[in-house]
Amino acid sequence: MDEKVLEEIRFHQDVLDKDASSPLYQIREKEMEISGRVLAAKNQAEKVVAEARKKATEIVQQAEVEAERLAKEHMEKSLKEAEEEAASIRAGATGEAKKLEEELSGRRAEAVDFVVRMVTTA
pLDDT digits (tens, 9 = 90+) for 56-75: 999 999 999 999 999 999 99
Res 36: pLDDT: 83
Angle at 67 between CA 48 and CA 86, to 5 degrees: 180
Res 66: pLDDT: 97
Res 14: pLDDT: 65
Res 1: pLDDT: 54
CA 35 – CA 5 distance, rounded (Å): 11
Res 23: pLDDT: 77
pLDDT-flagged residues of the chain (< 70): 1-2, 4-6, 9-20, 122
Backbone angles phi, psi at 107, to 5 degrees: -80, -20
Res 93: pLDDT: 87
CA 75 – CA 77 distance, rounded (Å): 5
